[in-house]
Structure 1
């Protein structure tokens, strides 16, 4: 007779200690620092209540950063998910070049963000950039823009680079989901006279909704937490026109405004938590429905 072995809960202690030391304690400390005014060495702190949070919305550059972060998250999430699904359906077709096509579509994901930013900085240069030169060659001068130096469009140019780099990841996840759909189900639907749109709406989309949920959540989180692509492309400029929350956090820490930087980080955490919970709840309703 085989005896069941029960291990002591004390064996969980090392893991809990590591989790508490590197996750719980730093987060609780961060929440505390958000309500203080710290000096550059983090040695002197003075409780200031909600003053750090108020300044985030009173200062113009920080208000712009919050607006840009939401614009960036919405635009990139929409296009990464929509284009990722379209590319996945294309990559799921039986072609002689299917493997090559999938590799090329996924290739930008593995590239360094810094390398991508340097390349696009050259491509989008207002006078010598390949994009504007191409438009001028095609006699489409009216479409040329100062893509990374015009305050009105710079955040959209950064969105484009983000979409180009990360759409391949959503495509791969969608492709994996599409390949789990039974071929017999598709064949039965075709025999019943179902057209392509009906096939997608009533069969394909409901079956891949869990992956839609995953891709939307990952894209929203990535969009709200963006830093590297913005900092490498524009540094938050020109002026403050492409600032996002994480560039403000970086800027405040660099200026020794540690309390405001921590408060911005806490606000970002709360935004991500609330938005992800709401999006997840809404998408789960569709999956269950």
Structure 2
């Protein structure tokens, strides 16, 4: 009994530092933000914030820039999620088969994921440079100069350029998760299907896809959350421009907070947290219905 009591004390002592840090940097800021969302706290009234009820939320829904940021965030999230899932699953299927140098390909595909989005954004800003950038220069050299564009200053192409960069930098993690799911499928299932005369499409439909639903669920949720909270990619490339054409939720909150509207930006952050939580739980519930045991 005494040893169990001592063991329990040691467990508490080991957990306590991590819990204190978690409380200091996560629980406390979130609780503070929850309170701030219902006040008029700003740089104009730093010491005397007053409760203003739902006024911040009302101002959010009346703001045209907020509406633009929500629309752009939805477009960005939908486009990048679909491309990442489809292309990532395709690459995982290829790398899961007997491809030469597949470990090298895996490393190359995954390597961009380890870099900071801002660093990659600065690199891509040079690639997208309209006059001397490698992309437009290459297009002109191969006789496709009519395709050269002002990628980051034209409202038609700025968001597409950001989506391309985001897909390139984060698809490696998607591929790795899909590969993990594919490698967990027992080979005996494929062998039995081959004996029964099943073709490639039939194997994918009845074995591969159902047994990798869990990986698909994880990747979908990660893509949705990552797309909704996009910030570094946009901030590094366009900072929401031109003319708010690439303004997303993250840059909207950042600019509101930088302008000294602390309560207003806290309200936007609270609304964002609620929406992301709902989308994640709904997505998880839908995919759980499709999961199968094996």
Fold conserved (TM > 0.5)?
yes
Residue 293 of structure 2 is aligned to residue 280 of structure 1: no
Aligned twin of 1:184? 188
Cα gap change, 1:57 to 1:152, in 2 (>3 Å): farther
Residue 42 of structure 2 is aligned to residue 39 of structure 1: yes
Q: List per-residue Cα deviations over 1:238-267 (Å, max 9, x = no partner).
A: 121111111111111111111111111111
Counterpart of 2:109 (choices 86, 105, 108) is 105
CA RMSD across the alignment = 2.4
Aligned twin of 1:269? 273
Q: List per-residue Cα deviations over 1:202-238 (Å, max 9, x = no partner).
A: 1011111111101111111111111111101111111
Residue 248 of structure 2 is aligned to residue 244 of structure 1: yes
Comparing 233-242 and 46-55, the one that deviates more: 46-55
Aligned pairs for 1:131-170 within 5 A: 131-170=135-174
Aligned twin of 1:208? 212
Aligned twin of 1:120? 124
Q: List per-residue Cα deviations over 1:124-151 (Å, max 9, x = no partner).
A: 1222222222222232233222211111
Deviation at 1:269, TM superposition (A): 0.6
Cα gap change, 1:170 to 1:45, in 2 (>3 Å): same
Cα gap change, 1:189 to 1:161, in 2 (>3 Å): same
SS in 1 for 2:50: strand
C-alpha separation in 1, matches of 2:61 and 2:103:
49
C-alpha separation in 1, matches of 2:168 and 2:29:
34
Give structure 2 stretches of 5+ with no counterpart.
none
SS in 1 for 2:40: strand
Instruction: Please give the TM-score of this superposition, normalised by the length of structure 2.
Output: 0.90
SS in 1 for 2:121: helix
Comparing 217-226 and 135-144, the one that deviates more: 135-144
Aligned twin of 1:28? 31
Comparing 144-153 and 238-247, the one that deviates more: 144-153
Deviation at 1:196, TM superposition (A): 1.2
Whether the 8 Å CA contact 2:131–2:137 is kept in 1: the answer is yes
SS in 2 for 1:45: coil
Deviation at 1:24, TM superposition (A): 3.0
Comparing 104-113 and 161-170, the one that deviates more: 104-113
Residue 225 of structure 2 is aligned to residue 221 of structure 1: yes
Cα gap change, 1:180 to 1:77, in 2 (>3 Å): same
Give structure 1 stretches of 5+ with no counterpart.
none
Aligned twin of 1:199? 203
